[in-house]
Amino acid sequence: MSRRSRALSVSLSASLALALLSACSPQKGDDRGPDKRQPGVATGTVIGGTPKRGGTLTVLSNQDFAHLDPARNWVMPTMDFGTRLIYRTLTTFRAAPGKAGSEVVPDLATDLGTPSDGGRTWTFTLKSGLANEDGTPIRARDIKYNVERSFAPDLAGGPDYAQRYLAGAEGYAGPLDGEHLDSITTPDDRTIVFSLRRPVAEFSSTVTLPTFSPVPASREKGVQYDLRPFSSGPYRIESYARGKKLVLVRNTHWDAATDPVRKAYPDRIVVVQGLKGGQIDDRIIESAGADASAVEWSDLQPSSVAKVLPKPGIRQRLSAERTGCTDMLALNTSRAPFDDPKLREAMQYAVDKQAQVTANGGPALNDIATAYLPPSLTGGRAADPVHTGPATGDVKKAEKLLAEAGRGDGFDTTITVSTGDKTRAEALQQSLARVGVRLRIETVDPSVYYDTIGDTANAPDMAISGWCPDYPSAATFLPFVFDGRTIKAKGNQGNVSQFRDKAVERRMDEIAAMPDAGAAARAWNELDREIQRKSPAVPLLWERKPLLAGDNIAGAFGHPSWTGQFDFAVIGLKDPSRSKG
């Protein structure tokens, strides 16, 4: 990603593996990746038919949002929520299940932008009739201001494409002290021009990110903006008690005539936070009262599997779309023990990936990852593994490498994971113990997970992390995860391994400058293999995202561009009169 990977949520366990295996069957003609098995749910289809306008949609969650400030929002499901409901971007993704959802379409802009100067300059024209939640017009300068905000150190954690792509941005620290970028110009209220340091053929896709949404300078509140983003989308925030409840109501100044993507079916959206995962599942399975009009935010719990899959009426309300992401075990290369490449290579063989599959929902919801790049970026098929061996690991090979590194007796190390991934961490602990590696586990709440492991000075030796492409290009993946120049002291989002390698960085720059997209794609795949040989991380899984909807929900499907999260642009209710809240 290159949008940042989804916040790690509650993992599924072996019980789901067994239940799903009994319910799935091969899907013929599926060439999208190595996992030909489908869970016992419909994929690529819409749950509940077409919604009707009105009512209250309830979202039940075990966590708060990491950030709703569009300059800081880079967790995949939260980007879905923010850009579909609260703010609009220059372009966006089509609201459709399956491959069609990957198409980029105009949003605030009249088209996908006009490149010039060989792709170094991009010009966008805003639609007429666009308004903020207070009725004031959305102006090009508002988008410029939010892009500039993304440079502010106090507003760290969001997409950093602007820092990578804009000309003359070195050393820029945001507009909070009155400084502005010359590489973004606004000749008039409806025109915005971006001057880039190099050609970027995919810039139409780049501006789907929350960074490229409007924030009027008059609404600036620094870090407090997170609590009350100013709306340019179909809903505005009525109230927000962090960790407890968020209430959205209609933005009466949003004009559907300017927005063919968002349908805004519900009158009101209520996000209830701080619930237990199993409690959420039980409530949506039962679908009583307001819960019939509810969806869950985080993944289905293992304890709920037997209550869902054997019952067709409930199973048809379960979505389990491919995430398009790669889960990895990031190894902190900035200090001992994993500053030693030999030890890092040993971890490639010490980890039992099959145990990771079991701990995360079984083979129906996971494939073993053999490379960093997901199949969606390698022609639909898994890349050939650099580190070969059985899925359960190669203990002898790992022991040999450890001995060569002078660690034949093993060593002590630490891992930090989201509370929902404790089971996966315990599986890692068991597999590493086979070669004498003693792993201590620390858990943190999902809402602060990335902030915790993104504090580079205090980062653990290991972390379960992941990445998802913002659009179908490895340029949105490898540079964000393995370019040492992207590492930040705080809010370090992609390069969790703190991997620095000058040769890799030079090659990234060379590939980024290639004018031929096909040649660049092949070069990225070769670079993926080269980075694997240096082992800054262990590729673990390619996953699906299981989410349950209440029996009054309509228009629900997992969107491919947001790791399978429900697309909030088009979700609604079958019968609005049944909803409450």
Which tokens is 208 given? 């789907």
Residue 33 lies inside a defined structural domain of this protein = no
Same domain, 560 and 538: no
Which tokens is 203 given? 């810039």
Least confident of 68-72, 89-93, 361-365, 546-550: 361-365
Q: Which long-range contacts (CB under 8 A, 24 or more apart) does 182-190 make?
A: 184/144, 184/147, 184/148, 185/144, 186/139, 186/140, 186/141, 186/144, 188/140, 189/126, 189/137, 189/139, 189/140, 189/141, 190/125, 190/126, 190/128, 190/139, 190/140
Report, as an integer, the average pLDDT of 193-204. Answer: 92
Read off the pLDDT of residues 394-404 as tens digits, 9 standing for 90 and up: 999 999 999 99
Residue 39 lies inside a defined structural domain of this protein = no
Most confident stretch, 62-66, 95-99, 549-553: 549-553
Query: What's the structural domain count of the chain?
Result: 2
Same domain, 561 and 540: no
Residue 8 has pLDDT above 70, yes or no: no
Q: Which domain holds residue 167?
A: 56-270+549-578
Looking at the chain, the whole-number percentage of residues with pLDDT higher than 90 is 76
User: What b/e readout covers 513-552, taking b as 16+ CB neighbours within 10 angstroms?
Assistant: ebeeeeebbebbbebbeebbebbbbbbbbbbbbbbbbbbb
Same domain, 387 and 494: yes
Same domain, 257 and 138: yes
Same domain, 460 and 557: no
**If DSSP codes are grouped into helix, strand and coil, which group holds residue 225?**
helix
DSSP string spanning 419-457?
GGGHHHHHHHHHHHHTTTEEEEEEEE-GGGHHHHHT-GG
Cis peptide upstream of residue 363 (ω within 30 degrees of 0): no
The CA distance from 124 to 111, in Å, is 7
Report the CATH number that the domain containing residue 214 is assigned in CATH.
3.40.190.10
**If DSSP codes are grouped into helix, strand and coil, which group holds residue 311?**
coil
Read off the pLDDT of residues 316-329 as tens digits, 9 standing for 90 and up: 999 988 888 999 99
Same domain, 209 and 350: no
Question: Which residue would you say has higher pLDDT here, 76 or 381?
Answer: 76
Question: In Å, what is the CA distance from 231 to each residue of 66, 82, 190, 235?
Answer: 18, 10, 18, 7
Which tokens is 130 given? 């666009």
Same domain, 568 and 534: no
| β pairing state of 235-241 and 191-195 | unpaired
Report the CATH number that the domain containing residue 370 is assigned in CATH.
3.10.105.10
pTM of the shown model: 0.81
Same domain, 510 and 571: no
In this predicted structure, what is the pLDDT of residue 581? 67
In this predicted structure, what is the pLDDT of residue 43? 61
**If DSSP codes are grouped into helix, strand and coil, which group holds residue 144?**
helix
Residue 34 lies inside a defined structural domain of this protein = no
Given pLDDT bands bounded at 50, 70 and 90, which one contains residue 34?
Answer: very low
Residue 491 lies inside a defined structural domain of this protein = yes
Residue 285 lies inside a defined structural domain of this protein = no
Same domain, 535 and 561: no
